[in-house]
């Protein structure tokens, strides 16, 4: 198995170790906010977050639907703090309308993954489900080991070399 094939296999399973994702949003004035949210993901790499309408990141998403997400290796598990394994995606957020077939399907996935708390959240009218659709991303596995992920094929990694930024 080549190095690229090994990294590709790691990429395909990387998000399975996480229950939440770090999200970065920007408000209408361009002020950034970093937060996190529990998530579920579909086979097309779309990430779904179930968040309160009262939160800063939700208000920011309504003002500016461009969101960056980050999955990052636990500090306690890394061999080198300067080179933690991480995956980031640039995404566009769209709200999933409540009580639609799609909303019900996603809520059921949240309930399967996170349990009874989702039943409570379901009854809170301010909670929203957003679909975060990646357009591109990066998978970093160490020093000099960075891979670009294109919106054309989010399943395929392309190694970043010195002539690509």
Q: What is the pLDDT of residues 136-157, one digit of tens each?
A: 999 999 998 999 998 778 888 9
Q: Indicate the domain borders of the chain.
A: 3-159
> How do residues 67-105 score in pLDDT, each as one tens digit?
999 999 999 999 899 999 999 999 999 999 998 999 999
Determine the Cα–Cα distance for residues 134 and 91; give it in Å rounded to an integer.
Answer: 4
Does an H or E element contain 133, and which? strand 127-142
Quick one: CATH architecture of 3-159? Answer: Roll (2.30)
Q: What is the DSSP letter of 23?
A: E
Total Cβ atoms within 10 A of residue 152: 8
115 contacts 109 by C-beta, under 8 angstroms: no
Determine the Cα–Cα distance for residues 16 and 49; give it in Å rounded to an integer.
Answer: 15
| pLDDT attached to residue 9 | 93
Q: Is 45 helix (H, G, I), strand (E, B) or coil?
A: coil
């Amino acid at each position: 198995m080549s190095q690229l094939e090994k990294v590709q296999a790691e990429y395909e399973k990387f998000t399975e170790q996480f229950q939440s994702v770090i999200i970065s949003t920007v408000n209408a004035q361009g002020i950034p906010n970093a937060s996190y949210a529990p998530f579920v993901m579909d086979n097309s790499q779309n990430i779904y977050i179930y968040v309160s309408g009262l939160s800063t990141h939700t208000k920011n998403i309504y003002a500016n639907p461009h969101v960056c997400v980050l999955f990052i290796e636990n500090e306690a598990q890394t061999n080198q703090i300067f080179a933690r394994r991480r995956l980031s995606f640039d995404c566009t957020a769209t709200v999933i309308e409540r009580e639609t077939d799609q909303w019900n399907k996603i809520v059921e996935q949240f309930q399967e993954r996170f349990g009874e708390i989702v039943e409570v959240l379901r009854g809170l009218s301010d909670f929203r489900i957003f679909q975060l659709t990646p357009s591109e991303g990066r998978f970093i596995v160490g020093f000099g080991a960075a891979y670009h992920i294109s919106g054309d094929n989010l399943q395929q990694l392309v190694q970043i070399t010195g002539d690509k930024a």
